[in-house]
């Protein structure tokens, strides 16, 4: 009895399929790229396939973020304003599987006056929405991240209406990293769109009535299984030789008598959202503060300002914040194939690192959602 020879062209053969994926990487464009959180999330999403990711171009006007992106990925993002990008510009990148978008959140926040589509910072996103139907070859996948409130915005409705007309199916979420087993409560809005029935005629003047019904998914896992356990904060903390640079200045506390600071301990299983103001005097709403002294005090007495000072509160370090956001800051881990670790060049100050991380996102949440919506 003779063995059957393997057909090297047989696409059903696992090795052949794996080689094909490596020869044909998943291609993407990353808009509003920041320090590459969506890039890392995409690498996480396809890790189970061991598939290579090729981000053909990244776009961001923040030159400090671009310095970090270039140091991490070896690719310099383009600083061209997105509301000037043309169909020809996009088509020049060749076949693109996926658009990654993390547009400015200020148009949808109270701090930004909730101007929505009237905000100048919404112009780049609105331009991309107008550009998408004009492309001769449209991406199969589109993934967008933003803050809660985006789901009720005019920008969201314009995007959903455009995607529906082009034949995309859409999933929308508001989720927190805590639901994915990370002790950080950073609720964000996510939209995942997948091309299922591409339309061939996008020039029709016939009016369409988009279904703008909001069907948000707010629970995870989606299959109704038990919630993921959350480890203590201690698993994300550094061993610091010198804690002094990260201690909260005494005056930040004494100027706010009776204020209930968000004090966390190494055994805490929740930290609050870190904003771009973290590490500054904006200690009341920028993130959690870690207790390092008087560990026998489990419940701080916020009526006694002096006792709060004695707790030795410190800011989480940039590395600790990056770990909570699931960035590969320590090593290029095996579960992010073809991705390098996040690198902050020496020219990037600690204050800049906090600001960049506060404007960023959670890599694991992004990756798990992409995997579920696009690659499961």
Q: What is the pLDDT of residues 27-49, one digit of tens each?
A: 999 999 999 999 999 999 998 88
Q: Is 114 a catalytic residue?
A: no
Residue 142 lies in a domain: yes
Residue 38 lies in a domain: yes
**Among 123, 142, 122, residue whose Cα is nearest residue 132:** 142
Report how many domains make up the chain. 1
CATH code at position 75: 3.40.50.150
The answer to whether position 356 is within a domain reads no
Q: What is the mean pLDDT of each run of 10 residues along the chain (376 residues)?
A: 42 48 82 97 90 95 97 94 95 97 92 88 97 97 97 97 97 98 98 88 62 95 92 97 96 94 98 96 95 96 95 98 96 56 96 97 97 94
Q: Is position 249 within any domain?
A: no
* Domain with 126 in it: 14-224+331-347+362-375
pLDDT of residue 9: 44
Integer angstrom CA distances of residue 174 from 162, 192, 354, 364, 369 = 21, 12, 24, 14, 11
Segment 220-223 long-range contacts (CB within 8 Å, at least 24 positions apart): 220/175, 220/179, 220/180, 222/372
Which pLDDT value is given to residue 113?
81
219 assigned to some structural domain: yes
Q: Considering the candidates 105, 155, 162, 373, report the single residue annotated as catalytic.
A: 105
């Amino acid at each position: 009895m003779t063995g059957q020879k393997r057909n090297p062209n047989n696409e059903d053969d696992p090795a052949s399929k794996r080689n094909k994926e490596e020869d044909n990487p998943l291609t993407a464009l990353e808009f509003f790229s920041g320090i590459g959180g969506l890039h890392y999330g995409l690498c996480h999403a396809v890790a189970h396939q061991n598939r290579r990711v090729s981000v053909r171009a990244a776009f961001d006007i923040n030159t400090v973020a671009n310095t970090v992106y270039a140091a991490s990925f070896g690719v310099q993002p383009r600083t061209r304003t997105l509301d000037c990008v043309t169909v020809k510009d996009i088509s020049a990148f060749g076949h693109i599987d996926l658009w990654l978008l993390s547009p400015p959140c200020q148009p949808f926040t109270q701090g930004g006056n909730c101007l929505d589509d009237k905000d100048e910072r919404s112009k780049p996103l609105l331009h991309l929405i107008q550009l998408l139907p004009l492309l001769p070859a449209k991406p199969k996948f589109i993934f967008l991240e933003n803050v809660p409130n985006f789901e009720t915005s005019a920008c969201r409705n314009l995007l959903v209406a455009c995607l529906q007309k082009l034949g995309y199916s859409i999933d929308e979420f508001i989720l927190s990293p805590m639901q994915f087993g990370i002790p950080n409560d950073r609720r964000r809005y996510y939209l995942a769109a997948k091309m299922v029935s591409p339309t061939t005629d996008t020039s029709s003047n016939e009016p369409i009535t988009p279904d703008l019904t909001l069907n948000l998914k707010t629970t995870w896992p989606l299959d109704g299984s038990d919630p993921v356990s959350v480890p203590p904060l201690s698993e994300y903390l550094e061993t610091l030789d010198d804690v002094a640079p990260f201690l909260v200045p005494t005056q930040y506390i004494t100027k706010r008598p009776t204020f209930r600071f968000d004090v966390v301990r190494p055994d805490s299983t929740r930290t609050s959202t870190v904003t771009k103001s973290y590490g500054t005097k904006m200690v009341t709403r920028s993130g959690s503060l870690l207790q390092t002294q008087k560990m026998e005090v489990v419940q701080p007495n916020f009526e006694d300002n002096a006792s709060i000072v004695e707790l030795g509160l410190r800011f989480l370090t940039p590395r600790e914040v990056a770990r909570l956001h699931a960035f590969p800051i320590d090593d290029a881990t095996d579960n992010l194939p073809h991705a390098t670790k996040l690198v902050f060049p020496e020219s990037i100050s600690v204050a800049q690192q906090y600001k960049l991380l506060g404007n960023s996102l959670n890599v694991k949440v992004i990756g798990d959602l992409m995997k579920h919506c696009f690659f499961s």
